[in-house]
Structure 1
Amino acid sequence: MAEPVERESNLVILAALAANLGIAVAKFVAATITGSSSMLTEGVHSVVDSGNQLLLLYGQHRAKRPADEIHPFGYARELYFWSFVVAILIFAVGAGVSVYEGYLHIIDPEPLRSPLVNYIVLGVSTALEGSSWFLAMRAFGRAKGPLGWWASIRRSKDPAGFIVLFEDSAALAGLVIAAAGVWLSHALAEPRIDGIASILIGLVLGLVAMLLAREAKGLLIGERADPAIVETVRAIVAAEPRVTAVNHVRTIHTGPTSIFVAISADFDDSLTMGEGETLVERIEAKLKAAEPMLASIYIRPEKREDAIAAFPGQTSAIG
């Protein structure tokens, strides 16, 4: 299951990377010919996006390393670190350069030259960016299932998918703003409008960067598995006749497709040591068969009264 998801995620990233590299060159050429501030910032935007996609691919490569003595749960969460770096780059470089360049163009405006070049580049960029956005949207739409879009983003543990979707959406919004800025600057003979468009593009990028940083922060700190998975674990353990109570089920994602689960359960007091070991092995086999993402399972036999004493008021909580 993880491999098809990863292949599709890589396809989305590579499509976005190819589109952004071509678009960046075209935008910088157009900015040089026409003197458009918004086109220059759009070029910077595409360069930043290209760098971000390379970082995501690098993060996915690093995350594949097997577990070792220092990192017994593997390196899958390293992808979350690089996702946070991407958010910082969008804010610091993409948004920062856009706002600064727009400010310079407002205080020292330069009339646009040959705006037709801008329109051609913007049209081609929209077609390429739209194709990348469509692939990202289709992949994320399949992954989200019946959930709403925002709820799915909040619950997603694979940042590569929603980062590319956010970046492409911001890129399309930036193209619309840049086109409006170029047209108004030329139609009204007011080059400062192009600088204002550049600042607006920077604000859009800043907003996207803050949203991505918030999601990446949650993944870095550690998020529980989907509540449905937690309930499945609880139900399987509770269904065992020799388990008298499930005290708690706690989970954390160690990667987009791997989960660590810790279970506290009260076993029948008449169980022998050998019977207890057999019971634990049987439960683990059932859990892994029911949910392949359960990469690490820890089951602790614990009397219910002891669990209540250790975590008062939390034994019915999930996560």
Structure 2
Amino acid sequence: MSANGGTKAIIAALLANVGIAITKFIAFLLTGSSSMLAESIHSVADSGNQGLLLLGGRRAKRAATPQHPFGYGRERYIYAFIVSIVLFSVGGLFALYEAYHKWSHKEGITEWHLVPVVVLVVAIVMETFSFRTAIRESNHVRGKQSWVHFVRRAKAPELPVVLLEDLGALVGLVFALFGVGMTLITGNGRWDAVGTAMIGVLLVVIAIVLAIETKSLLLGEGAEAHDVAAIEKAITEGPEVERIIHMKTLYLGPEELMVAAKIAVPACDSAEELARGINVVEDRVRAAVPIARVIYLEPDIYRGAVEQAGSGRGVHTAAAGPEAEPGEVAGRPGS
């Protein structure tokens, strides 16, 4: 649902931004307003960004290869990070440069006075439609999370990116309307420069937020606490596993989670019996958390507290294989 919803929100934003960019460029050519030029470049950058998100979603669907055995799911994060760079450079820095230039050449709007106002009002209506679509699609996957938590913790990058872009576009249009309106009222072109600078600062801030959040996804994030709890319960609720010695999770893509765990298993008569038990546990994990598609379970024999009494060690370890890593208490996830 998140992938389909993200695509729908991207397409809505793309259509809105292409139409808005054209009308803004026409208004700029007629009036020479720097706010209109900054907003035109902003809409062009946003249109390109939506194209990048669609391209990233398409490339992420490629099948795994020997060179990339876990597939290409995280490519969606790469394209989202590129979006933040484009928004920062093409949108934010250009607007700040244009504001500086307009401050030095403070001509007002001398003709076609109502054109920029009409264009901005129409753009606000179109951008509101796009923003409404992004909100509606995000609500399908947001649940009870706050909007800030959703943007910060969402594993699928498309919806948070479109949400922030559309919000920035709406606020930027209000800033542009302010600059143009004050310029028309006072005849002083520096108000236009002020509106343009406000747009530039806004875009730089949004780009930095996007870059920080996408960087975290690129580095690799583990499962949310509720998913970790569900996985732990699924592993230990049957007789096949005595306890979890340590466990790690990692998102291979927005909709694919890897689970790796060392588990303590009871003594069994054959390797076939052990393998059957592990298969049962894997099925339970996938039923509890469907996105847990890649699962590695390492069976071991757990050494109890009595055997540890003379060692002076406070953390239980396995009788064979590598010990639990520092900070990973038996029965708790290490991720």
By the TM > 0.5 criterion, same fold? yes
TM-score, normalised on structure 2? 0.91
Q: What residue number does 1:61 align with?
A: 58
Cα deviation code 1:120-155 (max 9, x no counterpart): 100110110000000001111221101111112221
Q: Distance in 2 between matches of 1:314 and 1:11?
A: 42
**Which of these residues, 232, 235, 240, is aligned with residue 234 of structure 1?**
232
User: Which residue does 1:74 correspond to in 2?
Assistant: 71
Q: TM-score, normalised by structure 1?
A: 0.96
Bigger Cα displacement from structure 2, 122-131 vs 300-309: 300-309
Task: Please tell me the residue identity of whatever aligns with 1:261.
Answer: V
Alignment equivalent of 2:166, drawn from 165, 168, 171: 168
3-state SS of 1:243 partner: coil
1:218-257 to structure 2, matched below 5 A, reads 218-257=216-255
Report the counterpart of residue 307 of structure 2 in structure 1.
none
Secondary structure in structure 2 of the residue aligned to 1:225: coil
CA deviations on 1:19-56 (whole Å, 9 max, x unpaired) are: 00010010011011111100100000000000000000
Specify the alignment match of 1:103 in structure 2. 100
**1:249 Cα deviation from its structure 2 partner:** 2.3
Matched, 1:299 2:297: yes
CA distance, structure 2, for counterparts of residue 21 and residue 313 of structure 1: 52
1:148-159 equivalence runs, <5 A:
148-159=146-157
Equivalent residues of 1:13, 1:57 under 8 A apart: yes
3-state secondary structure, aligned to 2:72: coil
SS at 1:75's partner residue?
coil
Corresponding position of 2:120 = 122
Check conservation: 1:177, 1:197, Cα contact below 8 A: yes
Shift in Å, 1:239 = 1.3
Q: 1:46 aligns with which of 30, 43, 48?
A: 43
1: CA distance between counterparts of 2:221 and 2:189?
48
CA distance in 1, matches of 2:20, 2:11: 14
CA contact (8 A) 1:115 1:182 kept: no
- Contact 1:35–1:110 under 8 Å retained in 2: no
In structure 1, stretches of 5+ residues that fail to align are: none
Unpaired stretches in structure 2, ≥5 consecutive residues? 303-316
Q: Matches of 1:111 and 1:136 in 2, distance apart?
A: 36
User: Residue 312 of structure 1 corresponds to which residue in structure 2?
Assistant: 326
How many Å separate the matches in 1 of 2:333 and 2:7? 36
CA RMSD of aligned residues (A): 1.4
Which structure's CA Rg is the greater one? 2
1:26 corresponds to 2:23 = yes
2:211 partner SS: helix
The amino acid of 1:295's aligned partner reads R
Residue 263 (structure 1) aligned with residue 277 (structure 2): no
Query: Paired residues, what number?
Result: 316
Alpha-carbon offset, residue 285 of structure 1: 1.3
CA distance in 2 between partners of 1:154 and 1:271 (Å): 48
Of residues 92-101 and 107-116 in structure 1, the stretch that sits farther from structure 2 once superposed is: 107-116
Moved more, 272-281 or 90-99: 272-281
Which of 165, 178, 181 does residue 179 from structure 2 map onto? 181
**Deviation at residue 269 of structure 1 after TM alignment:** 2.7
Aligned to 1:282: 280
- 8 Å CA contact 2:87–2:207 kept in 1: the answer is yes
Code of the residue aligned with 2:188 in structure 1: it is E
- C-alpha distance in 2 between matches for 1:40 and 1:9: 29
- Partner SS, residue 261 of structure 1: strand
Alpha-carbon separation, structure 2, partners of 1:143 and 1:42: 31
Residue identity matched to 1:168 = D
